[in-house]
Chains A and B, each alone.
Chain A
């Protein structure tokens, strides 16, 4: 029999591996629903990672760290917004430059923090509940960002289907011309979405440096921003499916390491490559099903908008 300790350990590590992906992907989902494709997720995540780490270290407060992580991601999305929303620049290329810029900026800001021990987000501890076997630590012993990620999924799902603002956002993403002609400010809606996406990506990055591995290392996002982008496609732009996808990927990442721990001899590089290969496989499987994608893909995704005078 597998004992409860191992199950608990696996479940806990899967949650920590999945949360940064989920946070970043749910933000990008909202951005893409508004018709904007922000490929700079990786850059905003790394900004959140160093911003959160530095702020927590300097102030001694992980709460401030989390706040600064979100702000750092949102701030980095501002140049992207100016180019893409106001200057109608090519979204793919601008997103790429955001990633390059973010990685460079984070590496520079982070240099003094290399090797500094970090602060770890405190975990919830409810006497009685958290002490329960398996479900105690898994359900009631997480840190705040894990719970926030699920609140965000639920809130986004409600927002996109039940709220007027959410429907407006979807209208902008599906036909910016019609929305514009109805008097909706396309640029304003997209700005809000881009800033929200930036803040979520920043939180995802902050989770890496404040909870996943409380340390700052260069390139610590290791492509998670790109995996989160793939998750949005995988989810066919539905919030609940983003959560399922993020946890699938978290599990793939972690199972490799547990397999190695269990004595199966695989070079560590192959285990590290698993999430990237899984992303490719998933993209292929999902993209084959064209009808599914066509139903939910925002029709104006990636197209520049210039309001007519």
Chain B
């Protein structure tokens, strides 16, 4: 018995919408098996994991607070992935943005002004963009693999942050805790509603997603990015400068991740710490794929992945399960998304018996462009 893939003449639009749903369904089945094998009632566990967080006002707010950095980062990553530029260093660009954006409130703790927050946001975006530009420049000038360089730079950024909050930026009054001083009121993103958790930063994700949906759809730049990714030769003939596009998508993604970084630090946490992200930069990769590299899809996917973070916390408290289950779920979900994506480009059928050797084939030349 073997699996046979028959290329479709055209990519199936119906499957493009259905396949993420199948992937989520399979992940839930995986959840049932996993919880049962851990000795927990699967129905109860799935309820606590995926439903209960949606039933309370505070956890709905928390859901939005966690989804917004994911959406911001994932929109940037989607733009990169569309151009076939594999930026997987968003965690580092997020961190670089958080560091650059924190320079003012840490060196001038008493400075209070309405221009402070905008300045912090701009510095964070610049920091993230510059950090994102490094792998792009190394790829353009030296053809160094951007997957490896962007990931290595993430490790470096996390170490720089660690050094800063344990060394020069440590709050002198913190009794040796590795944390910076708390940001003053004018360096903190205001709350949307008094006493809630949602700060102004959550609007960034929505605005950026809407903006990206509009620009990617109608502008020449959006088209150039898409052609560069899907048919590099055609892009060359069309006169699109590929190196400039690679640099641009990395800079955009870096700036958005940097913005997410400062929003997290200044809105949600209120200071710099060694750990400012539960892996948003990596989870955002899953968000981008689950959202079909489409900004509006990414908003939905961002909420869903944020739910896995919340559900993980709830399951830890209520069921005594490890919060590591979350990462397992997220990884499995990405597996399933990629597996189900095969349905978009191919008809899949099970065949029995052996294949005859020595048949000619050109089918996979079509495959290459869709990989």
Contacts and interface: CB of A to CB of B under 8 A. Distances in A.
15 contacts: A79-B335, A82-B339, A86-B3, A88-B346, A97-B286, A100-B282, A101-B335, A104-B327, A104-B328, A177-B364, A183-B358, A226-B151, A283-B138, A287-B145, A304-B371
A179 B334 CA distance: 31
A303 B364 CA distance: 9
Interface string A75-116: 000010011001111111110111111111101100100000
Contacts of B332: 101
Given A97-B286, A269-B159, A308-B359, 18 more contacts: A87-B339, A88-B345, A88-B367, A91-B371, A97-B331, A97-B338, A100-B334, A103-B327, A105-B331, A107-B324, A108-B324, A177-B362, A177-B364, A181-B360, A233-B148, A269-B160, A306-B5, A308-B362
Given A92-B86, A96-B88, A284-B138, A273 B156 contact: yes
B232 interface: no
Interface residues on A, range: 35 or more
A83 B335 contact: yes
Contacts of A82: 339
Interface of A: 39, 43, 79, 82-83, 86-94, 96-105, 107-108, 111, 176-177, 180-183, 222-223, 226-227, 229-230, 233, 267, 269-270, 272-273, 276-277, 279-280, 283-284, 287-288, 290, 302-309
A177 B144 CA distance: 28
B218 interface: no
Contacts of A92: 86, 147
A180 B368 CA distance: 16
A308 B371 contact: no
B159 A88 contact: no
A46 to B, nearest CB: 11
A119 B332 CA distance: 31
B80 to A, nearest CB: 12
Contacts of B334: 93, 96-97, 100-101
B255 to A, nearest CB: 21
B327 A276 contact: no
A223 B155 contact: yes
B328 A105 contact: yes
Contacts of A303: 364, 367-368, 371
A217 to B, nearest CB: 14
- Please report whether the interface of chain A is mostly helix, strand, loop or mixed according to DSSP: helix
A303 B282 CA distance: 24
B3 A87 contact: yes
Nearest to A97: B334
B5 A273 contact: no
Contacts of A91: 371
Given A181-B361, A183-B357, A284-B142, A229 B156 contact: no
Interface string B174-217: 00000000000000000000000000000000000000000000
Interface size, B (range)? 35 or more
B338 A89 contact: yes
Interface of B: 3-7, 86, 88, 138, 142-145, 147-149, 151-153, 155-156, 159-160, 162-163, 166-167, 282, 285-286, 289, 322, 324-332, 334-335, 338-339, 341-342, 345-346, 348, 355, 357-364, 367-368, 371
A270 B155 CA distance: 11
Contacts of B4: 309
Question: 8 closest A-B pairs (Cβ-Cβ)?
Answer: A308-B361, A101-B331, A104-B327, A183-B357, A97-B334, A100-B331, A104-B328, A269-B163
Contacts of B145: 230, 233, 283, 287
Given A287-B143, A306-B5, A269 B162 contact: yes
B282 A181 contact: no
Contacts of B153: 276, 280
Nearest to B134: A280
Contacts of A280: 138, 144, 148-149, 152-153
Contact of A104 (B156, B326, B367): B326
Contacts of A284: 138, 142, 144
B346 A229 contact: no
Given A100-B334, A183-B358, A270 B163 contact: yes
A51 B109 CA distance: 48
A267 B342 CA distance: 48
Contacts of B163: 267, 269-270
A131 to B, nearest CB: 40
A171 to B, nearest CB: 14
B328 A308 contact: no
Contacts of B3: 86-87
A307 B342 CA distance: 15
A90 B371 contact: yes
A94 B7 contact: no
Contacts of A230: 145, 148, 152
B327 to A, nearest CB: 3
B339 A279 contact: no
Contacts of A39: 147
B364 A94 contact: no
Residue among A39, A91, A176, A302 having the largest count of chain B Cβ atoms under 10 Å: A39
Given A267-B163, A280-B144, A104 B339 contact: no
Nearest to B34: A108
B152 A279 contact: yes
A271 to B, nearest CB: 9
A87 to B, nearest CB: 4
A272 B371 contact: no
B368 A108 contact: no
B329 to A, nearest CB: 8
Contacts of B367: 88, 303-306
Contacts of A223: 151-152, 155
